């Protein structure tokens, strides 16, 4: 495993136009952010040695290197979801590679169903913590040093970055909620009883991504910051049928706000 990570990192280092310390996973809601990147190089995942092979033809994604908020950044346009059939090792392989490349801070975004009754569709939530309800921990198996065998998760999401987001939200007059993100394996959305259970457990939002990447990033000592767009509500009395199209529509409405926060975060972090 470690040999493959190094092999991929060496391959990328020979081609990268810069040595960024900031990485972004352009999840749902951050398509707009991609347009604000001044691109220097884009490398399709399909050409990168050892990168997971896409399950959907034509949607393989790419690594973008360029400038955003005045900083050198690398961005994953397209991520690997567990529900697509990837193993946890595959889902988190790019994070291991980022670490080898010298990434120090990771920004992530996702779409999520709100289980907090005070949330509205279109809200943006700063992820303050997570609950890993996926069937496997990405660190299952032999430990990859120098990360510890039993990594601390008391501050999975960087408190200073959370504070910075609050400041930027106030300055830009963009309302930001805060809450706990719970990750399921998907691909089903929740039954009303599942939403209720997750809310009882302390979740404010539910989604199908992000947690594996953040666990591995923390194992590597990378600082993490995440935003969720609340695209539907898993709240008693407000539950309606959810489709992927509804989720995409709510997410795209929130995109410009999301992109502004992220760009400013990157500039100042
Ligand atoms: N549940 C799980 N994942 C999601 C949801 C949801 O309600 N909305 C967007 N992604």
Residue nearest to atom 2 of ligand 1 (CA): 207
- Across the chain, the runs of DSSP E, i.e. the strands, are 22-26, 38-44, 62-68, 71-77, 105-114, 124-132, 176-183, 205-207, 223-233
Task: Walk along the chain (269 residues) and give the pLDDT tens digit of each residue.
Answer: 789 999 999 999 999 999 999 999 998 777 788 999 999 999 999 999 999 976 655 456 899 999 999 999 999 998 999 999 999 999 999 999 999 999 999 999 999 999 999 999 999 999 999 999 999 999 999 999 999 999 999 999 999 999 999 999 999 999 999 999 999 999 999 999 999 999 999 999 999 999 999 999 999 999 999 999 999 999 988 888 888 888 888 888 899 999 999 999 999 99
Would you kindly state where each structural domain of the chain is located, as residue ranges? Answer: 2-268
Tell me how far apart the alpha carbons of residues 32 and 253 are, in angstroms, rounded to a whole number: 11
Residue keyed to tokens 């989720």: 247
Ligand 1 and 134: CB distance under 6 A: no
Query: Which tokens hold the place of 151?
Result: 């990594």
Q: How many helices (H) and strands (E) does the chain have?
A: 7, 9
Ligand 1 and 208: CB distance under 6 A: yes
Q: How far is the CA of 228 from the centre of ligand 1 (A)?
A: 10
What fold is seen in the domain 2-268?
A: Rossmann fold (3.40.50)
The pTM for the full model equals 0.95
Ligand 1 and 230: CB distance under 6 A: no
């Amino acid at each position: 495993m470690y040999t493959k990570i190094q092999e991929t990192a060496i391959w990328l280092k020979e081609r990268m136009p810069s040595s960024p310390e900031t990485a972004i996973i352009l999840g749902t809601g951050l398509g707009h952010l991609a347009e604000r990147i001044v691109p220097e190089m884009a490398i399709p995942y399909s050409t990168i040695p050892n990168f997971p092979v896409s399950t959907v033809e034509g949607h393989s994604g790419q690594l973008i290197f360029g400038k955003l908020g005045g900083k050198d950044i690398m961005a994953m346009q397209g991520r690997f979801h567990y529900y697509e059939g990837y193993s946890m090792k595959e889902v988190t392989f790019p994070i291991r590679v980022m670490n080898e490349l010298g990434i120090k801070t990771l920004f992530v975004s996702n779409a999520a169903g709100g289980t907090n009754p005070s949330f509205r569709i279109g809200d943006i939530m700063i992820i303050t913590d997570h609950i890993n309800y996926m069937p496997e921990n990405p660190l299952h198996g032999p430990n990859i040093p120098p990360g510890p065998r039993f990594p601390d998760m008391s501050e999975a999401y960087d408190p200073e970055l959370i504070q910075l987001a609050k400041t930027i939200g106030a300055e830009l007059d963009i309302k930001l909620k805060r809450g706990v993100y719970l990750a399921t394996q998907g691909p089903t959305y929740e039954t009303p009883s599942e939403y209720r259970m997750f809310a009882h457990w302390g979740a404010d939002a539910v989604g199908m991504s992000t947690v594996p990447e953040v666990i591995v990033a923390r194992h590597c000592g990378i600082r993490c910051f995440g935003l969720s767009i609340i695209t539907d509500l898993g709240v008693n009395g407000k539950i309606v049928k959810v489709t992927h199209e509804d989720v995409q529509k709510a997410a795209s409405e929130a995109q410009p706000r999301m992109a502004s926060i992220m760009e400013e975060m990157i500039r100042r972090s």
